[in-house]
Amino acid sequence: MGLGRTIKLRNEFAIGFKFSEKSSTTLFQRHANLFETSSIHLRKRIFAPIRTSDMNTLENAALSSFGQKHLLGIAELSPQEIQFLLDRANEAVSVSRQREKKKSVLRGRTQINLFFEASTRTQSSFELAGKRLGADVMNMSVSSSSVKKGETLIDTAMTLNAMQPDLLVVRHQSAGAVELLANKVGCSVINAGDGAHEHPTQALLDALTIQRSKNSIAGLTVAICGDILHSRVARSNIILLNALGARVKVIAPSTLLPAGIDRLGVEVYRDMNEGLKDCDVVMMLRLQRERMTGALIPSIREYFHFYGLDAKRLECAKPDALVMHPGPMNRGVEIASEIADGPQSVIETQVEMGVAVRMAVIEILMENRGSNG
């Protein structure tokens, strides 16, 4: 990149990232389609945000069961179903804190973790959740599997289905791949992240973390900051937080915002200090450089200068604001170490809640499988 080109990019970054080029414009449109699809789906299901005064109604209308065979996305769930999962996950927290952590409710059940993308936290969290429930857990290494030898996703699905598993936990780099696989197998399927589409258990664990700290999500103001464009975590959280009555802000430079994101019922800010005002929760997202095509930011240093969360910037939020991050963190890029390790950070709590949420989801889906034969 020439010097003149670099200066031009930096100047436009400083005034709100108005720079655009053909590659980033194409990327915007591709992801805008995903957000618009979700927006239409939400309108069809009439997911009106829950007001604080409506929380008693939600509690009184609590479900006694969960009717889904799979967990493919938050967009598929009603507010009551979301709360049902959170309530069960809250019960699972105490199990993980006991000296004897293992239950036998899923003895004889088989869980296969099928990750087409590298993962440490999510895969280990699902593995631990399954084992604590007593299931037989197998981690399938895609890097050494037949997928690398040319086998299609459908072939893989049919092969696994022939093994008679009870549950597949799937992460894939392509949006919609997990749903496609779910349509081809007889067992339950959990989406552990598909492209830039959804990551439902991450949104649930984030909600559980907030709910346990703030008692309720309804009426809170939550800021989601960073690489919104490539983030399935942002998308699932936006849907869930809106469904449970939160006010949701997204804060990012223009090149990291999908076109049409305002149609998902969020407030859009390009200035970090302005967007953080009066926030109860600040959720930081990493830059997903592995998904970027083209120069979407001028430099890491300047990105942190304008959009990184440090002590001074955190003062713009409420004094008791929670600081969250789904991981992996890039310290000094989107968040300063003093904030990540500070008293307002609940990042480690999110990891703990992740195991509880996944235990609850797995157990509920297996209960449904048992009742349906």
To the nearest 10 degrees (0 to 180), the angle between helices 232-243 and 79-96 is 110
pLDDT at 265: 95
- Quote the CA–CA distance of 53 and 210 in Å, as a whole number: 19
Q: Which residues pair with 251 in a beta bridge?
A: 225, 269
pLDDT for residue 21: 35
Query: Which residues are CB-contacts of 17 (< 8 A; sequence separation ≥ 6)?
Result: 253, 254, 255, 256, 270
Q: What is the C-alpha separation between 219 and 53, in angstroms, rounded? A: 9
State both tokens at 164.
């008679």
- pLDDT score at 299: 80
pLDDT in tens, 284-317: 999 875 554 555 676 888 889 999 999 999 999 9
Over residues 59-98, the pLDDT tens digits come to 445 566 788 999 999 999 999 999 999 999 999 999 999 9
Residue with tokens 């809170």: 220
Instruction: Name, in order, each residue with C-beta under 8 angstroms of 365's C-beta and a sequence gap of 6 or more.
Output: 66, 68, 69, 70, 71, 167, 188, 190
Give every CB contact of residue 125 below 8 A, 6+ residues apart in sequence.
351, 354, 355, 358
* pLDDT above 90: percentage of residues in the chain: 65
| d(C-alpha 197, C-alpha 38), whole Å | 9
Would you say 269 and 249 are in contact if contact means Cβ atoms under 8 Å apart? yes
Q: Looking at the predicted structure, is the pLDDT value of residue 326 above 90?
A: yes
- pLDDT at position 119 is 87
Least confident of 150-164, 174-188, 210-224, 251-265: 150-164
Closest alpha carbon to 85 in 203, 172, 175, 177:
203
How far apart CA 253 and CA 256 sit, in angstroms, is 6
- Read off the pLDDT of each residue in 156-174 and give the average, rounded to a whole number: 93
pLDDT of 368 reads 86
Q: Is the pLDDT of residue 112 over 50?
A: yes
DSSP letter for each residue of 205-268: HHHHHHHHHHS--TT-EEEEES--TT-HHHHHHHHHHHHTT-EEEEE--GGGS-TTGGGGS-EE
Average pLDDT over residues 234-239: 97
DSSP-assigned beta bridge partners for residue 137: 111
